Amino acid sequence: MRSLLFLNREYIPFLPLVCSSPYGPTDPPLLPAAAPSGWWDKRASELFQSVETISGSIDGLQNVRSPLRNPFSGFCLFSAATTSLYAQSFPWTVPHPNPRVSRIVERDFDALVYFRNICHIGEGWWATLRDCRWLYNRASQSSSAQGRNSRLDHVALHSAIHDTRGHAPQDQSAHRGDEVAASPSLDVHGSKTVVGDEVDFDWGLNLELSWDQMWPISASHNATDHGA
């Protein structure tokens, strides 16, 4: 489930303020071809179902007083928490919204608080989750997509969301609510832009690729693959 969450989340907009239903990237690099009918709904359903499964599994273990106390389980929890917060803040991206999403978010927050108290690596994930909550709340309350921020306006936070080491965002302007944030520092090499330590976006997409070649996830993932 963690793999499905991570893979599917790569393609959703960082801040989905210019779409009214599940959709793909709205910030560069964009895809040159339109998705097949229903493709985004399937990917979004798979993503948010994975989140609910991870969150429910961790909650079930805590209820029987057998919580997972290792960095991998903490990262799974952190990933589920950031994505459930995304679902709560931008419900139009969820094909089948869960009416209990607010309860799931609070449950994930409480579980991460517990985890950070027993494992130091959780401190950075908690700081990232706090910054996500501030940004998502601010974005979801915006009355217009005009002048919206993109992923490139929040490079440090985007990188921290994917950081397995528990590093908090270096740019702390998000949770402080500063009106003016420093411009992101991007290291550009030819067609590639390196963001942070772990995220590398290739801007040189091949316009001749078919959907199966660009994103084989649509062909390779089926019901029998969901055990991981």
DSSP state letters, the chain: -HHHHHHHHTTS-SS-TT-SSS---SSSSPPSSPPPTTHHHHHHHHHHHHHHHHHHHHHHHHHTT----SHHHHHHHHHHHHHHHHHHH-GGG-SS--TTHHHHHHHHHHHHHHHHHH-TTHHHHHHHHHHHHHHHHHHHT-S-STT---GGG-HHHHHHHT-TT-PPPS-THHHHT-SSPPPP--EEETTEEEETTTEEEE----TT--HHHH-THHHH--GGGTT-
pLDDT computed for residue 144 by the predictor: 56
> Is the residue at 31 inside a domain?
no
pLDDT computed for residue 26 by the predictor: 85
Q: How much is the mean pLDDT over the chain?
A: 76
> Is the residue at 32 inside a domain?
no
> Is the residue at 93 inside a domain?
yes
How far is it between the farthest Cα atoms of the chain?
A: 53
Higher per-residue confidence, 178 vs 118: 118
Higher per-residue confidence, 38 vs 150: 38
Residue 195, beta-bridge partner list: 199
pLDDT tens, residue by residue, 149-203: 778 888 899 889 988 888 888 744 444 444 333 333 333 333 333 333 333 434 3
User: Worst-scoring range by mean pLDDT, 18-22, 73-77, 140-144?
Assistant: 140-144
Is 206 a residue whose pLDDT tops 70? no
pLDDT tens, residue by residue, 126-160: 999 999 999 999 888 875 555 567 788 888 998 89
CB 40 within 8 A of CB 117: no
The count of domains in the chain is 1
Higher per-residue confidence, 25 vs 218: 25
pLDDT computed for residue 173 by the predictor: 43
- Structural domain harbouring 20: 2-25+39-172+182-225
> Residue range 25-41: average pLDDT?
87
pLDDT computed for residue 54 by the predictor: 92
Higher per-residue confidence, 180 vs 37: 37
> Residue range 51-64: average pLDDT?
90
pLDDT computed for residue 62 by the predictor: 84
Query: Token pair 């979004």 is at which residue?
Result: 44
| CA gap 228, 224 in Å, rounded | 10
Q: Output the six-digit token pair for 162.
A: 């994917």
Query: Token pair 């709904």 is at which residue?
Result: 41
* Backbone conformation region of residue 177, classed left if phi is above 0, alpha if psi is from -120 to 50, else beta: left
> Is the residue at 137 inside a domain?
yes
